[in-house]
Amino acid sequence: MRAGEASYDGFGEAPRGRLAREGAEDARRRGRGSEREARYDRAAARRERGVAPTIAEGLVGEIVYGTNPVLEALRRNRRALFALYVQTGEGGAANGGKGAGAESEILRLAEARAVTVKRASKHDLNMACDNKPHQGVLLDAEALEIPTLEDLPKWDGRGEPPVWLALDEIVDPQNLGAALRSAHFLGVDGVVCCAKNSAPFNATVSKASAGAMEAQVVHQTGVMHRFLAKARDEGWDVVGAAADARAEDVSDFSVRAPTILVMGNEGSGLRTNVRRACNRLIEIPRSASSAAGVDSLNVSVAAGILIHRLVAARRSRA
């Protein structure tokens, strides 16, 4: 495959530069504190006018929306949960609307965890979620903790070798969420992301992951290339996804040791230091019949294909 526009070293979409990534990181560093203060100020102003605060203005933490993310957040007990908002009126679970079965389970879990349940209109939920597909349920929850990982776990040589996924500077929350969904569905043993210059782990990522972000612990590391180099020195195969003359065809790839697959940024692919930390490279061959302008894959799609192959290859080895 050739890299070009919308390339991710052969697996990507429209390029996004370092300035864009740093801008996103600056926004994240400004933190949730200032946003919360602004919400309180708006809520106080509405109360002074005799108007009830909106859901967004009354939040204690951050939102989690959508049936699967809310279900998993309730099941996994990884967050403090402050309130559950459930849609009323036509189409709401309270009136037997679509998804009532799943939302009944949500209500049962909320009761078991002593979470306050509040009724809200579709309009109010739409406003709280910025018109994103909430499916009639929204949680006010503590931010999800993303633990820092210094070392990959040791493998004792028994059974299948572990397969991990490393996501290096994935800045699009939809891509990050979709990659987490594929990783969880296909059975990777762990996921590690950059602590900086990556999409924040927020409601958009959780929804795009279909709840996988809630179900599987995702780790972060401060300096990805050092983390990977250390793993390589400790016997891990560090496998970078890249269109490169040295890259192995995914169809012929074999898993011979504990393996961590590395996916780079949507626009620039693997950074130089990250690529140097890899002791193997892998690529997905492009079909000879594909149009000239379709010369790459979305990073989350590529991650899914490669994870599937690695997991299948380790099973055949075992």
* pLDDT-derived band at 33, boundaries 50, 70, 90: low
In angstroms, rounded to a whole number, what is the distance separating the alpha carbons of residues 154 and 195? 23
Cβ count near 45 (within 10 Å): 12
Same domain (yes/no): 187, 130: no
On whether both 83 and 164 belong to a single domain, the answer is no
Mean pLDDT of the chain: 83
Domain final residue pick, 103, 125, 141: 141
Of 104, 114, 56, 108, nearest in space to 80 by CA:
114
What is the domain-level CATH number for residue 251? 3.40.1280.10
Q: In the structure, what pLDDT confidence band is assigned to residue 286 with cuts at 50, 70 and 90?
A: confident
The reply to whether 137 and 164 lie within a common domain is: no
Q: What's the pLDDT band for 85 if we cut at 50, 70, 90?
A: very high
Q: In the predicted model, is pLDDT for residue 8 greater than 70?
A: no
Mean pLDDT of 200-204: 96
Q: Which band of pLDDT confidence, cut at 50, 70 and 90, is reported for residue 24? A: very low
Task: Tally the domains of the chain.
Answer: 2
Confidence of residue 1 (pLDDT cuts 50, 70, 90): very low
Cα 295 to Cα 288: distance, rounded to the nearest angstrom: 10
Domain with 118 in it: what CATH number? 3.30.1330.30
pLDDT band at 297 (very low <50, low <70, confident <90, very high): confident
Residue 274 above 90 pLDDT?
yes
Q: Are 12 and 299 in contact (CB under 8 A)?
A: yes
Least confident of 61-75, 90-104, 109-123, 158-172: 90-104
User: Hey, what are 99's tokens?
Assistant: 């998804």
Tell me the helices (H) and strands (E) count for the chain, helix number first.
Answer: 11, 11
Dist CA 172 CA 33 (whole Å) = 23
Amino acid at 318: A
For residue 13, what pLDDT is reported?
A: 40
Asked whether residue 161 falls in the same domain as residue 261, the answer is yes
What's the pLDDT score for residue 313? 87
End of a domain among 111, 141, 171?
141
Alpha-carbon gap, residue 280 to 268, rounded angstroms: 19
**Which range has the worst mean pLDDT, 61-65, 202-206, 313-317?**
313-317
CB of 317 closer than 8 Å to CB of 310: no
CA distance 243 to 2: 7
Lookup: tokens for 212: 């996988």
pLDDT above 70: residue 6? no
Summarised one tens digit per residue, pLDDT across range 61-78 is 999 999 999 999 999 999
pLDDT computed for residue 49 by the predictor: 55
pLDDT score for 237: 96
Domain that holds residue 274: 18-23+146-317
Residues 175 and 286 placed together within one structural domain of the fold: yes
Q: Check: CB of residue 258 under 8 Å from CB of residue 313.
A: no
pLDDT tier for residue 314 given thresholds of 50, 70 and 90: confident
280 SS3 class: strand
**Mean pLDDT, range 89-103, rounded to an integer:** 61
- Assess whether pLDDT exceeds 90 at residue 42: no
Residue 55 zone, left/alpha/beta (φ > 0; ψ -120 to 50; rest)? alpha
**Whether 68 and 157 share a structural domain:** no
pLDDT: which is higher, 97 or 138: 138
Q: Is residue 111 scored above 70 in pLDDT?
A: yes
Are 79 and 183 members of one domain?
no
Its pTM surpasses 0.95: no
User: Which tokens in the block code for residue 300?
Assistant: 């989350």
- Among the listed residues 198, 264, 268, the one whose alpha carbon sits nearest the alpha carbon of residue 228: 264
Contact 206, 178 (CB under 8 A): no
